[in-house]
Amino acid sequence: MTPDDAVRQALCTHMGREFAAHFQYLAMSAWLAGEGLPETSGFFGGQASEEHVHAMKFLQFIVDTGGPVEIPAVDAPAAAFASAEALVGSALAQEEQITRWIEDLVHLARDHRDLATEAFLQWFIREQVEEVATMTELLQVVRHAGPSLLLVEDYVTRWKPTRAR
C-alpha cells in the first residue's frame, strides 16, 4: 500500500531529522576529539553512523512504497559545547525528541489506516528505547566522573564490545 501524501511528506520530514541527527553526532564527535577524548569521540562517530542508517531506512521505505523522495534542508548542527556533560545532555534531549517524533508518526499512520508505515515504524520504536537508555546511562557516567573524564573514556572503551549490536 502506498502512503497517502500527508504520510509520505511526514516520512520525508522525519528522514531529514535523522540526517540532522547524523550531522549533530558528527559535530559532537569532532568536538570531543578536540578535547582529547578519542574513545568518546569514536563512540559518537558510531552514533552518527547509526543515524545515517536510520535516515537511509526511511529513504528506502519511501522509495519502496512509491515515492517520491524529497530530502529536506538540514540546519547546521551545534558545534561547540560548554562541557562534555552539556554535550551528552544535548544528545539525550535529541534522542527524546526523536522518540516523540517517531511516536507522532505512528499515530499519523494509524489515523490514515496505513498498516505498512505503521509496521515499518515499529523497528524505530524499539530502537529509540535503546538509544534513550544508552544516552541516559552515558550522562549518568559523565556526572559520576565529574572532572575525571578519563573515566568516561574507560567506560566507553568497555561499553562498546558489550553493548554493540
Q: Considering beta carbons, is residue 1 or 93 the nearer one to ligand FEO?
A: 93
Name residues whose C-beta falls within 8 Å of residue 137's C-beta, 6 or more positions apart in sequence: none
Taking the complex as a whole, how short is the minimal distance between the CB of residue 131 and ligand FEO, in angstroms? Answer: 4
Residue from 12, 20, 21, 87 touching ligand FEO (CB under 6 A): that is 21
Q: Considering beta carbons, is residue 99 or 157 the nearer one to ligand FEO?
A: 99
Taking the complex as a whole, how short is the minimal distance between the CB of residue 3 and ligand FEO, in angstroms? Answer: 19
Query: Is position 153 an interface residue for ligand FEO (rule: CB under 6 A)?
Result: no
Residue from 51, 58, 153, 156 touching ligand FEO (CB under 6 A): that is 51
Rounded distance between C-alpha atoms, residue 138 and residue 131, angstroms: 11
The neighbour count for residue 20, using CB atoms within 10 Å, is 20
Query: Is position 18 an interface residue for ligand FEO (rule: CB under 6 A)?
Result: yes
Which of 149, 14, 32, 142 is CA-nearest to residue 79?
Answer: 32
Q: How far is CA 162 from CA 9, 11, 143, in A?
A: 38, 33, 21
Residue from 27, 87, 89, 95 touching ligand FEO (CB under 6 A): that is 95
